[in-house]
Copies of this chain bind each other. A is one copy, B any other.
């Protein structure tokens, strides 16, 4: 029932295109689901993709266009004339059309808009382009179904049939008053089972209607839809007039992007990059963290140089430098990871910081005792009792410190409105390196009685 793209199929498709074999393509490609067609277009050249694309009807074209991956779509659109782009946009949902225009130059946007035949569609798109990126306004679409509160069901059905032509997926009908203010919602199910003369006012649901304002940020939109379990949410302007709706697919996209961003930030990558980004962009995204890491390394060097005298007497002290720094880093990252996740989920974990730190301390003591016992055993075999004690004691101390810092640093960043995911990156590791080394050599100095 589901299509699986094979290399053979792509080859067959390419051969059919080369032979101008529209019949084969209609039979084998155009009958597929639009998501599958998009997958087939990905490995084709622009010219080949264009050939297949213009065999499809308008509805199919717009669905397939939105299924293409962003870079493939950009490449493909760049190969179309302004006139062709304009006619493609007319068949898209307004939010998708605005997204596509957002990727073009200002000059090209003007040209495309002026070439659009459908004034209403063009107006909707222009309107959406006004909203700031990352707000509900920029995410919403103008296609939704609304009914006036004083209509009867039969009148509503007539009007809705007209509206429904433009709306691909109908989840909910929004009920508005004469000035377009959102009053409530009505499900298709309710309409289906009401008598023709029933007034909407008598059957609509006015309780606990959840909506967002146009200037709400995407994160709030996502959290609201998640909390209230909605597949679409109405968007109202500052006067509570209904201006659009946001559907769950856009929000799922956002959730995934956020997770990606956190993951990259925790890995020390400061800009959103993809595998396909340019070498220059990838380098630039990584550089800030590497420079911080390098300055941290220089400071570590400075700390160690303060103990030059001792190292020259007991060279073996240098052997365990990487163990101490690595363990400080690992422990710090582990304990900050959970704090960062709780913060991302919106938990109010400031409420009892002391309890959290206390718990981390218990975990740290448990793991610290175990690990420092093991390293003591290894140390004795390797380098004798004295160094074993130094390494084991410092490892324990470093684990305790790193755990506590791991909790406090993301909380501190959050307090200062900095993304706490930063904490997991080189930031925590670098800081723990420096503190860990200081602890290690100080304990060394003390025990060796230098």
Contacts and interface: CB of A to CB of B under 8 A. Distances in A.
Nearest to A305: B319
Contacts of A353: none
Interface string A333-376: 11011110110000101000000100100110011001100110
A170 interface: yes
Interface in A315-346: 315-316, 318-327, 329-331, 333-334, 336-339, 341-342
B249 A229 contact: yes
Nearest to A43: B351
Q: How many copies does the complex hold?
A: 2
Contacts of A301: 319-320, 322-323, 382
Interface stretch (A44-52, A77-85, A115-123, A203-211): A203-211
A256 interface: yes
Contact of A297 (B228, B259, B297, B322): B322
A143 to B, nearest CB: 13
Nearest to A395: B294
Given A275-B339, A331-B290, A188 B208 contact: no
Interface residues of A, number: 115
Contact of A315 (B187, B311, B325): B311
Given A255-B256, A318-B311, A363-B283, A161 B193 contact: yes
Interface string A226-256: 1111010000000000000000110010011
Interface stretch (A98-106, A266-274, A411-419): A266-274
Contacts of A189: 164, 170, 188
Nearest to A240: B1
B287 A337 contact: no
A56 interface: no
A420 interface: no
24 contacts: A1-B211, A2-B224, A171-B171, A192-B192, A248-B252, A255-B259, A267-B337, A267-B424, A268-B330, A268-B337, A273-B338, A275-B342, A282-B338, A287-B367, A289-B334, A290-B330, A298-B323, A298-B382, A304-B319, A304-B322, A308-B316, A321-B321, A322-B437, A329-B429
Given A36-B208, A282-B359, A308-B319, 13 more contacts: A1-B211, A248-B248, A252-B255, A255-B255, A259-B263, A263-B337, A279-B359, A286-B367, A290-B334, A298-B323, A300-B319, A304-B319, A326-B433
